[in-house]
Amino acid sequence: MFDKGVGLDQRNEPQQRELSQLIEAERMSAIGRMTCSISHDMRHSLTAIYANAEFLERHDICASVRADLLLEIQEAVLAMTERIESLLQFGSSGRKNPLVRARVSLVVEKAVAALK
């Protein structure tokens, strides 16, 4: 005896595959657009980090100005981290990545050292 449901499912397989490929292509396109936007924002943050790190090298600025510069660097690093995390979260297709806890000051120290 012929099961009509099985034949119908087999005929829809190519259409379902095409739809899945179309959805994946659109997802990748969205990731590409996000990457361009995030790249632009990251360059802006890196410019701020670099400039502030250069100011921190100067010996003629007072402690309060140094503290402000360090705070701006920290904020830029945090903003970059959030952008990267949002991109990774979007690209992971629902996979859950555990949060990694780290001292922000350590991240900033590494960024300043890299800029030097």
pLDDT digits (tens, 9 = 90+) for 20-52: 899 989 888 888 887 788 888 889 999 999 999
Q: Is the dihedral of CA 70, 72, 73, 77 positive or negative?
A: positive
Confidence grade of residue 60 (pLDDT, cut at 50, 70, 90): very high
* Lowest mean per-residue pLDDT among 6-10, 60-64, 69-73: 6-10
- pTM (two decimals): 0.52
The answer to whether 53 and 115 are in contact (CB under 8 A) is: yes
CA gap 10, 85 in Å, rounded:
40
CA dihedral 79, 84, 86, 88 (to 10 degrees): -170
E-only strand ranges, 18-76: none
pLDDT of residue 99: 59
Average pLDDT, the chain: 81
Joined together, the tokens standing for residue 73 give 């660097």
What kind and span of H or E run contains 66? helix 63-91
